[in-house]
Amino acid sequence: MTAPSVPAQPAPERTMQVRRLRFTHPKGSLRRHYVDDDLVMSHVVAVLSATFPKGEDFFVRSVRHYSGRITDPELKRQVKAFIGQEVVHGREHESLNAALREMGYPTHWVDAFVKRSMGLSTRFMPPRVALGHTAALEHYTAALAECLLTDPRAQALLGDTEVRNVLLWHALEEAEHKAVAFDVYRAVGGAERMRRRTMIEASVGLFVVTGVFTLLSLLRDPAFYNPRRLLASLRALRRSPFLDPKVRARVRAYQRPGFHPDDFDATDTLDRWRAELFGPEGALRDRLT
Q: Which domains does the chain carry?
A: 39-256+267-277 (1.10.620)
The answer, yes or no, to whether residue 257 has pLDDT greater than 70, is: yes
pLDDT in tens, 200-218: 999 999 999 999 999 999 9
Q: What is the pLDDT of residue 9?
A: 77
The residues, ordered by sequence, that sit 6+ positions from 44 with a Cβ below 8 Å of its Cβ are 210, 214
Give the pLDDT mean for 183-202.
97
Mean pLDDT in the chain? 95
Kindly report the pTM of this predicted structure: 0.94
pLDDT in tens, 41-50: 999 999 999 9
pLDDT in tens, 112-128: 999 999 999 999 999 99
